[in-house]
Protein backbone atom coordinates (compact mmCIF):
# COMPACT_ATOMS: atom_id res chain seq x y z
CA UNK A 1 0.00 0.00 0.00
CA UNK A 2 1.48 3.33 -1.10
CA UNK A 3 0.50 5.23 2.04
CA UNK A 4 -2.02 4.76 4.82
CA UNK A 5 -3.23 6.09 8.14
CA UNK A 6 -3.61 3.82 11.14
CA UNK A 7 -6.28 5.02 13.59
CA UNK A 8 -6.20 3.59 17.09
CA UNK A 9 -9.84 3.74 18.21
CA UNK A 10 -8.90 2.40 21.64
CA UNK A 11 -6.70 5.47 22.13
CA UNK A 12 -9.67 7.72 21.30
CA UNK A 13 -11.84 5.83 23.78
CA UNK A 14 -9.15 6.10 26.46
CA UNK A 15 -8.79 9.84 25.92
CA UNK A 16 -12.54 10.30 26.31
CA UNK A 17 -12.52 8.20 29.47
CA UNK A 18 -9.66 10.26 30.91
CA UNK A 19 -11.50 13.56 30.47
CA UNK A 20 -14.80 12.02 31.54
CA UNK A 21 -13.19 10.92 34.82
CA UNK A 22 -12.30 14.52 35.65
CA UNK A 23 -15.71 16.15 35.20
CA UNK A 24 -19.41 15.82 35.92
CA UNK A 25 -20.22 17.41 32.55
CA UNK A 26 -21.39 15.41 29.56
CA UNK A 27 -18.92 14.87 26.73
CA UNK A 28 -19.62 16.18 23.24
CA UNK A 29 -17.24 14.49 20.81
CA UNK A 30 -16.21 16.95 18.11
CA UNK A 31 -16.05 14.98 14.86
CA UNK A 32 -16.01 17.83 12.35
CA UNK A 33 -13.56 17.79 9.43
CA UNK A 34 -13.86 14.02 9.04
CA UNK A 35 -13.14 13.63 12.75
CA UNK A 36 -9.98 15.72 12.46
CA UNK A 37 -8.89 13.47 9.61
CA UNK A 38 -9.44 10.26 11.58
CA UNK A 39 -12.71 9.23 9.88
CA UNK A 40 -16.17 10.62 10.66
CA UNK A 41 -18.35 7.54 11.11
CA UNK A 42 -15.89 5.12 12.80
CA UNK A 43 -14.77 7.80 15.27
CA UNK A 44 -18.32 8.99 16.00
CA UNK A 45 -19.46 5.46 16.80
CA UNK A 46 -16.34 4.84 18.89
CA UNK A 47 -16.91 8.05 20.85
CA UNK A 48 -20.50 7.17 21.69
CA UNK A 49 -19.45 3.68 22.77
CA UNK A 50 -16.75 5.25 24.96
CA UNK A 51 -19.24 7.40 26.85
CA UNK A 52 -19.67 10.58 24.82
CA UNK A 53 -23.31 11.70 24.95
CA UNK A 54 -23.22 14.21 22.09
CA UNK A 55 -21.58 14.68 18.72
CA UNK A 56 -20.57 18.03 17.28
CA UNK A 57 -19.86 18.95 13.66
CA UNK A 58 -19.26 22.16 11.79
CA UNK A 59 -21.18 21.38 8.62
CA UNK A 60 -24.76 20.22 8.30
CA UNK A 61 -23.66 17.74 5.62
CA UNK A 62 -21.52 15.99 8.24
CA UNK A 63 -24.47 15.68 10.59
CA UNK A 64 -26.69 14.30 7.82
CA UNK A 65 -24.01 11.74 6.95
CA UNK A 66 -23.98 10.57 10.57
CA UNK A 67 -27.77 10.22 10.66
CA UNK A 68 -27.75 8.30 7.38
CA UNK A 69 -25.15 5.98 8.92
CA UNK A 70 -27.58 5.15 11.71
CA UNK A 71 -26.10 7.35 14.43
CA UNK A 72 -28.92 8.30 16.81
CA UNK A 73 -27.06 10.35 19.45
CA UNK A 74 -27.77 14.08 19.71
CA UNK A 75 -25.82 16.02 17.09
CA UNK A 76 -25.21 19.75 16.89
CA UNK A 77 -24.13 21.50 13.69
CA UNK A 78 -22.73 24.98 14.27
CA UNK A 79 -21.64 26.32 10.90
CA UNK A 80 -24.80 26.53 8.83
CA UNK A 81 -24.84 29.43 6.34
CA UNK A 82 -28.25 30.69 5.17
CA UNK A 83 -28.29 28.33 2.17
CA UNK A 84 -28.24 25.26 4.45
CA UNK A 85 -31.04 22.70 4.28
CA UNK A 86 -32.65 23.55 7.61
CA UNK A 87 -35.75 21.49 6.79
CA UNK A 88 -33.61 18.38 6.44
CA UNK A 89 -31.84 19.17 9.71
CA UNK A 90 -35.13 19.53 11.56
CA UNK A 91 -36.54 16.35 10.02
CA UNK A 92 -33.47 14.41 11.20
CA UNK A 93 -33.48 15.89 14.73
CA UNK A 94 -30.18 17.65 14.16
CA UNK A 95 -29.60 20.52 16.56
CA UNK A 96 -28.82 23.81 14.83
CA UNK A 97 -26.71 26.67 16.17
CA UNK A 98 -28.36 30.08 15.99
CA UNK A 99 -25.72 32.84 15.64
CA UNK A 100 -27.90 35.63 14.20
CA UNK A 101 -31.38 37.00 13.73
CA UNK A 102 -31.27 35.84 10.10
CA UNK A 103 -30.61 32.26 11.18
CA UNK A 104 -33.44 32.44 13.68
CA UNK A 105 -35.84 33.57 10.96
CA UNK A 106 -34.74 30.86 8.53
CA UNK A 107 -34.89 28.05 11.07
CA UNK A 108 -38.32 29.15 12.32
CA UNK A 109 -39.60 29.28 8.72
CA UNK A 110 -38.22 25.81 8.03
CA UNK A 111 -39.84 24.41 11.15
CA UNK A 112 -43.17 25.97 10.25
CA UNK A 113 -42.97 24.61 6.71
CA UNK A 114 -42.66 21.00 7.88
CA UNK A 115 -44.73 21.32 11.04
CA UNK A 116 -41.96 20.41 13.47
CA UNK A 117 -40.22 22.37 16.23
CA UNK A 118 -36.53 23.02 15.54
CA UNK A 119 -33.97 22.08 18.19
CA UNK A 120 -31.56 24.99 18.56
CA UNK A 121 -28.48 26.11 20.50
CA UNK A 122 -28.16 29.88 20.84
CA UNK A 123 -24.60 30.99 20.11
CA UNK A 124 -23.30 34.20 21.66
CA UNK A 125 -20.05 36.00 20.93
CA UNK A 126 -18.26 36.61 24.23
CA UNK A 127 -14.84 37.60 22.96
CA UNK A 128 -13.85 35.38 20.05
CA UNK A 129 -15.31 37.97 17.63
CA UNK A 130 -16.14 35.23 15.19
CA UNK A 131 -19.46 33.35 15.28
CA UNK A 132 -22.35 34.20 17.56
CA UNK A 133 -24.69 37.01 18.48
CA UNK A 134 -23.10 40.30 19.48
CA UNK A 135 -24.65 43.63 18.44
CA UNK A 136 -27.96 41.94 17.57
CA UNK A 137 -28.33 40.45 21.06
CA UNK A 138 -30.98 42.95 22.37
CA UNK A 139 -33.08 42.53 19.20
CA UNK A 140 -32.63 38.78 19.35
CA UNK A 141 -34.05 38.61 22.88
CA UNK A 142 -37.20 40.31 21.60
CA UNK A 143 -37.44 38.09 18.52
CA UNK A 144 -36.98 34.76 20.27
CA UNK A 145 -39.47 35.36 23.06
CA UNK A 146 -42.42 33.09 22.32
CA UNK A 147 -40.79 31.63 19.20
CA UNK A 148 -41.97 28.16 18.20
CA UNK A 149 -38.77 26.22 18.80
CA UNK A 150 -37.01 24.19 21.46
CA UNK A 151 -33.99 25.91 23.00
CA UNK A 152 -31.77 22.94 23.73
CA UNK A 153 -28.56 24.81 24.36
CA UNK A 154 -26.78 28.08 25.00
CA UNK A 155 -23.11 28.33 24.09
CA UNK A 156 -20.03 30.32 23.22
CA UNK A 157 -16.42 29.60 22.35
CA UNK A 158 -13.16 30.55 24.08
CA UNK A 159 -10.54 32.48 22.14
CA UNK A 160 -7.63 31.87 24.51
CA UNK A 161 -8.43 28.81 26.61
CA UNK A 162 -5.01 27.40 25.73
CA UNK A 163 -3.58 30.28 27.81
CA UNK A 164 -5.07 29.32 31.20
CA UNK A 165 -3.87 32.43 33.03
CA UNK A 166 -5.17 34.88 30.44
CA UNK A 167 -7.74 37.27 31.99
CA UNK A 168 -9.74 37.19 28.74
CA UNK A 169 -10.96 33.71 29.70
CA UNK A 170 -12.66 34.93 32.86
CA UNK A 171 -14.02 37.94 31.00
CA UNK A 172 -15.66 35.57 28.52
CA UNK A 173 -17.15 33.47 31.31
CA UNK A 174 -18.58 36.60 32.95
CA UNK A 175 -20.09 37.85 29.70
CA UNK A 176 -21.46 34.39 28.93
CA UNK A 177 -23.17 34.09 32.30
CA UNK A 178 -24.55 37.62 32.00
CA UNK A 179 -26.16 36.87 28.64
CA UNK A 180 -27.53 33.59 29.95
CA UNK A 181 -29.18 35.48 32.81
CA UNK A 182 -30.75 37.89 30.33
CA UNK A 183 -32.15 34.96 28.36
CA UNK A 184 -33.55 33.41 31.53
CA UNK A 185 -35.09 36.76 32.46
CA UNK A 186 -37.39 36.52 29.42
CA UNK A 187 -38.48 33.03 30.43
CA UNK A 188 -36.10 30.90 28.34
CA UNK A 189 -33.93 28.42 30.21
CA UNK A 190 -31.79 26.24 27.92
CA UNK A 191 -31.51 22.59 28.90
CA UNK A 192 -27.76 22.57 28.31
CA UNK A 193 -25.13 25.28 28.70
CA UNK A 194 -21.72 24.71 27.11
CA UNK A 195 -18.57 26.74 26.82
CA UNK A 196 -15.49 24.53 27.33
CA UNK A 197 -13.36 23.26 24.47
CA UNK A 198 -10.46 20.80 24.94
CA UNK A 199 -8.14 23.38 26.50
CA UNK A 200 -10.77 24.56 28.97
CA UNK A 201 -11.77 20.96 29.68
CA UNK A 202 -8.20 20.24 30.77
CA UNK A 203 -7.52 23.46 32.70
CA UNK A 204 -10.70 25.31 33.68
CA UNK A 205 -13.25 23.29 35.64
CA UNK A 206 -15.33 26.41 36.20
CA UNK A 207 -16.10 26.47 32.49
CA UNK A 208 -17.28 22.88 32.25
CA UNK A 209 -20.99 23.72 32.69
CA UNK A 210 -23.29 20.95 31.36
CA UNK A 211 -21.31 19.83 28.30
CA UNK A 212 -17.64 19.80 27.30
CA UNK A 213 -16.91 20.02 23.59
CA UNK A 214 -13.96 17.65 23.32
CA UNK A 215 -12.01 18.13 20.12
CA UNK A 216 -8.24 17.87 19.71
CA UNK A 217 -7.71 16.19 23.10
CA UNK A 218 -10.01 13.34 22.07
CA UNK A 219 -7.50 12.51 19.35
CA UNK A 220 -4.68 12.45 21.88
CA UNK A 221 -3.09 15.77 20.98
CA UNK A 222 -2.35 18.79 23.15
CA UNK A 223 -4.34 21.97 22.41
CA UNK A 224 -1.05 23.84 22.79
CA UNK A 225 2.25 22.12 23.49
CA UNK A 226 3.95 25.32 24.69
CA UNK A 227 1.35 26.45 27.22
CA UNK A 228 -0.34 23.20 28.27
CA UNK A 229 2.35 20.57 27.75
CA UNK A 230 2.73 17.60 25.48
CA UNK A 231 0.32 14.73 24.94
CA UNK A 232 2.44 12.64 27.29
CA UNK A 233 2.35 15.29 30.00
CA UNK A 234 -1.42 15.54 29.62
CA UNK A 235 -1.75 11.73 29.72
CA UNK A 236 -3.27 11.71 26.24
CA UNK A 237 -2.56 9.05 23.61
CA UNK A 238 -2.26 10.18 19.97
CA UNK A 239 -4.60 8.08 17.84
CA UNK A 240 -3.13 8.63 14.38
CA UNK A 241 -0.06 7.03 12.82
CA UNK A 242 0.89 7.81 9.22
CA UNK A 243 2.93 5.38 7.14
CA UNK A 244 4.18 5.30 3.56
CA UNK A 245 6.08 2.95 1.31
CA UNK A 246 9.61 3.67 0.10
CA UNK A 247 9.42 3.96 -3.66
CA UNK A 248 13.16 3.88 -4.15
CA UNK A 249 16.45 3.78 -2.24
CA UNK A 250 19.50 5.09 -4.07
CA UNK A 251 23.13 5.91 -3.33
CA UNK A 252 24.19 9.45 -4.19
CA UNK A 253 27.54 11.20 -3.94
CA UNK A 254 28.38 14.24 -1.85
CA UNK A 255 27.43 17.49 -3.54
CA UNK A 256 24.17 16.20 -5.06
CA UNK A 257 21.38 18.81 -5.20
CA UNK A 258 18.03 17.33 -4.13
CA UNK A 259 14.54 18.20 -5.36
CA UNK A 260 13.05 21.20 -7.11
CA UNK A 261 15.35 24.19 -7.01
CA UNK A 262 18.19 22.15 -5.51
CA UNK A 263 17.50 23.82 -2.19
CA UNK A 264 19.56 21.24 -0.30
CA UNK A 265 22.78 19.52 -1.29
CA UNK A 266 24.13 16.30 0.19
CA UNK A 267 27.18 16.96 2.34
CA UNK A 268 28.62 13.46 2.03
CA UNK A 269 28.09 10.20 0.17
CA UNK A 270 24.75 8.87 1.41
CA UNK A 271 21.59 6.94 0.66
CA UNK A 272 18.35 8.72 -0.13
CA UNK A 273 14.82 7.30 0.01
CA UNK A 274 11.86 8.54 -2.00
CA UNK A 275 8.70 8.40 0.14
CA UNK A 276 5.40 7.96 -1.70
CA UNK A 277 3.57 10.94 -0.24
CA UNK A 278 3.51 14.63 -1.09
CA UNK A 279 1.55 17.82 -0.65
CA UNK A 280 -1.40 16.34 -2.56
CA UNK A 281 -1.63 13.83 0.30
CA UNK A 282 -1.42 16.53 2.95
CA UNK A 283 2.33 16.67 3.57
CA UNK A 284 3.11 20.38 4.00
CA UNK A 285 5.28 21.63 1.13
CA UNK A 286 7.29 23.88 3.45
CA UNK A 287 8.28 21.11 5.89
CA UNK A 288 11.91 21.47 6.96
CA UNK A 289 14.50 18.83 7.75
CA UNK A 290 13.32 18.96 11.37
CA UNK A 291 10.84 16.26 10.29
CA UNK A 292 11.12 13.09 8.26
CA UNK A 293 10.39 9.39 8.70
CA UNK A 294 11.36 6.48 10.92
CA UNK A 295 12.60 3.46 9.01
CA UNK A 296 15.04 0.60 9.56
CA UNK A 297 15.31 1.47 13.24
CA UNK A 298 16.12 5.17 13.04
CA UNK A 299 15.02 8.62 11.94
CA UNK A 300 15.71 9.95 8.45
CA UNK A 301 15.23 13.67 7.92
CA UNK A 302 13.64 15.33 4.90
CA UNK A 303 16.08 16.71 2.38
CA UNK A 304 14.94 19.12 -0.32
CA UNK A 305 11.44 20.35 -1.08
CA UNK A 306 8.31 18.24 -0.69
CA UNK A 307 6.78 17.51 -4.11
CA UNK A 308 3.16 16.85 -5.07
CA UNK A 309 3.30 13.08 -4.63
CA UNK A 310 6.67 12.39 -2.99
CA UNK A 311 9.40 13.64 -0.73
CA UNK A 312 12.99 12.61 -0.14
CA UNK A 313 14.73 11.67 3.11
CA UNK A 314 18.41 11.25 3.88
CA UNK A 315 18.88 7.72 5.22
CA UNK A 316 22.61 7.95 5.85
CA UNK A 317 25.26 5.87 4.09
CA UNK A 318 24.95 2.89 6.43
CA UNK A 319 21.15 2.59 6.54
CA UNK A 320 19.61 -0.85 6.08
CA UNK A 321 16.41 0.55 4.53
CA UNK A 322 15.52 -0.87 1.12
CA UNK A 323 13.05 -0.15 -1.66
CA UNK A 324 9.58 -1.31 -0.59
CA UNK A 325 10.07 -0.82 3.16
CA UNK A 326 7.25 0.85 5.06
CA UNK A 327 8.34 4.07 6.77
CA UNK A 328 6.52 5.70 9.68
CA UNK A 329 5.97 9.34 8.72
CA UNK A 330 4.65 10.24 12.15
CA UNK A 331 3.72 8.10 15.13
CA UNK A 332 5.10 6.69 18.35
CA UNK A 333 8.48 5.48 17.06
CA UNK A 334 10.11 8.47 15.41
CA UNK A 335 8.72 11.87 14.54
CA UNK A 336 5.52 12.92 16.30
CA UNK A 337 2.63 14.92 14.91
CA UNK A 338 3.90 17.84 16.99
CA UNK A 339 7.37 17.44 15.45
CA UNK A 340 5.82 17.74 12.00
CA UNK A 341 3.83 20.77 13.09
CA UNK A 342 6.96 22.55 14.33
CA UNK A 343 8.88 21.61 11.18
CA UNK A 344 6.08 23.08 9.05
CA UNK A 345 5.43 26.21 11.08
CA UNK A 346 1.90 25.18 11.97
CA UNK A 347 -0.13 23.35 14.65
CA UNK A 348 -0.96 19.70 15.19
CA UNK A 349 -4.63 20.33 14.26
CA UNK A 350 -3.57 21.17 10.70
CA UNK A 351 -1.22 18.21 10.32
CA UNK A 352 -3.92 15.61 11.02
CA UNK A 353 -6.84 17.33 9.28
CA UNK A 354 -4.98 17.91 6.03
CA UNK A 355 -4.19 14.23 5.34
CA UNK A 356 -6.05 13.67 2.08
CA UNK A 357 -8.97 11.32 1.49
CA UNK A 358 -6.89 9.40 -1.04
CA UNK A 359 -4.82 8.07 1.89
CA UNK A 360 -6.79 5.07 3.27
CA UNK A 361 -7.67 4.88 6.96
CA UNK A 362 -7.14 1.56 8.72
CA UNK A 363 -8.81 1.05 12.12
CA UNK A 364 -7.58 -0.92 15.10
Question: Hey, which residues are catalytic here?
Answer: 32, 260
User: Rounded to 5 degrees, what are φ and ψ at 21?
Assistant: -70, -15
The tally of CA atoms less than 13 A away on the side-chain side of residue 305 is 9
User: Side-chain half-sphere of 126: how many Cα atoms within 13 Å?
Assistant: 27
Beta pairing, strands 311-314 & 270-275: antiparallel
Does residue 176 contact residue 196 with C-beta atoms inside 8 Å?
Answer: no
- Measured between alpha carbons, how far apart are the two ends of the chain, in Å? 17
Amino acid sequence: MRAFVEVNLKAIANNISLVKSKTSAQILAVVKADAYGHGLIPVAKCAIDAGATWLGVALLEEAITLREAGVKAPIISWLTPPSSDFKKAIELDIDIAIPSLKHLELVLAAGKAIGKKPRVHIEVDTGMTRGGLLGEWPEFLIAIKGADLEVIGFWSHFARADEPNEIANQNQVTDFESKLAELQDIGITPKYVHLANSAAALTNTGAHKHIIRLGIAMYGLSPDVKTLGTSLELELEPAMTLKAEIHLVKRVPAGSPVGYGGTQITTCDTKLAIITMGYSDGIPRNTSSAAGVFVAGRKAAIIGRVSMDQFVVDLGADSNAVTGDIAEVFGALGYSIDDWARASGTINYEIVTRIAARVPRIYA
